[in-house]
Amino acid sequence: MSYLILIRHGQSVWNLEKRFTGWVDVDLTENGEQEAKKAGELIKQLNIKINYYFSSLQIRAENTLKIIQKTLNDNQNFIKAWELNERHYGVLTGLNKIEMSEKIGEEKVYKFRRSWDLRPKPLDKKSPFHPLNIATYKNIPNKNIPDTESLKDTYERVIKFFEAEIKNKINHGNIFISAHGNSIRALCKYLFKLDENQIVKLEIPTGNPLLIDIDENLKIKNCNYLDKDRSSDLLVY
């Protein structure tokens, strides 16, 4: 039996500004840093050793992990993987969610944010927000860089990576993954066997570690958010 700990990065600059972020590589706010520090303190109270760390390639997830490791006095190396990146929001990238709700309606924006297989229109490759124009992704083959994604697209890349690089480690130690709202939603769909209707309703809070007691067959014995004051009531096990 091992522990799998999932965390959505702490609040980012564009979270605060209520902008569709996706693959734009923005950093944490001061509040986001404090969320990560508290997450580290809560994990420290578990008195368990984390054997494997994973992060997306994006700085908000990486810095969340680094703050947590510093709080744990743990400086071991971690694996960064673009497959754990946030979902790409296509032409919505950079736009304000409230303004878009006023412009095209809350229902349509909600569908773009939460639906399973709806993709926004592709982002122009010349946009400064396109991953092709962001230095963070310079080593990713162009064929793997999306112009837009649905949650289904995100699920496929996240789970492919999970099965190839993480699943076989579950029986050999405790695992920590720092990622994003949609990449963690994808993992939760897979691990908790959620259907397409359930995943639409799933919210993932920033900076709150989800502790999952799991065995090598991916059978979940128990799970809970460590910061109980900020627990999501939408993840039902």
- What is the Cα Rg of the chain in Å? 17
Q: How far apart are the first and last CA of the chain?
A: 18
Domains of the chain from N-terminus onward: 2-230 (3.40.50.1240)
Full-model pTM: 0.94
pLDDT of 234 above 60: no
Mean per-residue pLDDT, 41-50: 97
171-215, pLDDT tens digit by residue? 899 999 999 999 999 999 999 999 998 988 888 999 999 999 999
Q: Which residues are catalytic?
A: 9, 86
Of 157, 93, 85, which is closest to residue 124 (Cα–Cα)?
93
Q: What is the pLDDT of residue 197?
A: 87
- pLDDT, residue 236, reads 45
